[in-house]
Amino acid sequence: MYNKTAYEMGTNGCTIRELAAYGAARAQIVGEENVFNFTIGNPSLPAPREVTDTVRDILDNMDNLAIHSYTSATGDLAARKAIAKDLNNRFGTDITADELFLGCGASPELCAVFGALSMDGGEIIAIAPYFSEYEPFAQSAGCTLKVVAADVPNFQIRLDAVEAAITPNTVAIIINSPNNPSGVVYTRKTLEQLAELLNRKAKEYGHAIYIVADEPYRELAYDGVEVPFIPTIYKDTIVCYSYSKSLSLPGERIGYIYVPRQATDGPELYTAVAGAARGIGHICAPSLWQHVIARCAHLQPDLTEYDRNRKALYEGLRQAGYEVAKPDGAFYMFVKAPGGDSMAFCEKAKGKDLLVVPGEGFGCPGWFRLCYCVSYEKILRSLEVFRALV
């Protein structure tokens, strides 16, 4: 006997991971240099030197038991204070440690937040294209995910479509900016208009509608583009942050949830987040990494290499005749499939050992995603293959 829903989630494997595994297998046969694997969002930059130095220092000098012990359920106080200080310095906020909950990266944090918001028939809105894992996260928390298309091809939020999707059961809308998979950053104007809409609807229905800001890519923005800190625009915002991308630590599982005390039912919601996290066994983010964050929360990534890749790929693809969403952030590019059939295009590309992810899995057929966390040299060589495919 087993849970059929869980079985389905297990069988509907993640296309990205499958494609990435295929790429790794092909590399064994034809050589790594001959596979253009643009699939998985694994940072290609090493973690900053300060991070690795801090790990060494902690291992060498901190009490061994203290390094590896359970921390409090909400996380090490020094780490929460360091995060609060960094956010306050950068965004002019007055966040305190007791509004922060240390988590094992954005994935379980989103599960905990959805669990905290979940009510009978609770609906959560996502803007397509969206990170496909929202589906199982929402489902496991007993919420229904309602998908609303973005404004193609600029991929900003379509407010009329969001308004049409809001019902009395709407508990939250997920905002992921910079966006995976589009690479688009939602503008301040878009977010202000969204805030105005949500305030109006919350008033109409007599309950809060939260923004769940899924922010693993907050620090990855180029050309000076602003990534607004959404709690300063809309008070009912819960932030799920991750150091997976900004500090290149996806395998270490560390991030935080910020539940503002000024949010509607803020303190209760914080407790509910901690309770929901407990309910999924999310009791302690890796202690070593909590201690690292206590010292490294202020670090910013050096984006020079990603930016070089981004520019070369964007220019190269456009010159080859591809339509590309303007990639202001993250390390993804969303490209219109020539001929309009993204599945067919990705299959054809696969035949040339060029691995890209069809938009179907992101709720946006007709487009495909590229992750440009590969070497610059490979980006340049891949353009030849892209040109042949167009």
SS (H, E, C) the chain: CCCHHHHHHHHCCCHHHHHHHHHHHHHHHHCHHHCEECCCCCCCCCCCHHHHHHHHHHHHHCCHHHHHCCCCCCCCHHHHHHHHHHHHHHHCCCCCHHHEEEECCHHHHHHHHHHHHCCCCCEEEEEECCCCCHHHHHHHCCCEEEEEECECCCCECCHHHHHHHCCCCEEEEEECCCCCCCCCCCCHHHHHHHHHHHHHHHHHHCCCCEEEEECCCCCCECCCCCCCCHHHCCCCEEEEEECCCCCCCCCCCCEEEECCCCCCCHHHHHHHHHHHHHHCCCCCCCHHHHHHHHHHCCCCCCCHHHHHHHHHHHHHHHHCCCCECCCCECCEEEEECCCCCHHHHHHHHHCCCEECEEHHHHCCCCEEEEECCCCHHHHHHHHHHHHHHC
Minimum gap (Å) between residue 241 Cβ and ligand PLP: 8
219 binds ligand PLP (CB under 6 A): no
Minimum gap (Å) between residue 363 Cβ and ligand PLP: 13
Minimum gap (Å) between residue 102 Cβ and ligand PLP: 12
Write out the binding residues for ligand PLP, residues 29-68 only, by CB under 6 A. Answer: 41
Minimum gap (Å) between residue 332 Cβ and ligand PLP: 8
Stretch that binds ligand PLP, among 60-68, 104-112, 257-265, 339-347 (CB under 6 A): 104-112
Write out the binding residues for ligand PLP, residues 167-186 only, by CB under 6 A. Answer: 176, 180
Write out the binding residues for ligand PLP, residues 236-255 only, by CB under 6 A. Answer: 242, 244, 250, 255
Minimum gap (Å) between residue 147 Cβ and ligand PLP: 14
Stretch that binds ligand PLP, among 18-26, 100-108, 183-191, 310-318 (CB under 6 A): 100-108
Stretch that binds ligand PLP, among 105-113, 272-280, 346-354, 373-381 (CB under 6 A): 105-113
Write out the binding residues for ligand PLP, residues 319-358 only, by CB under 6 A. Answer: none
Contacts with ligand PLP by CB under 6 A: the residue count is 13
Stretch that binds ligand PLP, among 53-61, 103-111, 265-273, 304-312 (CB under 6 A): 103-111
Write out the binding residues for ligand PLP, residues 8-27 only, by CB under 6 A. Answer: none
- The 252-271 contact track toward ligand PLP, x by CB under 6 A, reads ---x----------------
Q: What residue ranges bind ligand PLP (CB under 6 A)?
A: 41, 105-107, 131, 176, 180, 214, 216, 242, 244, 250, 255
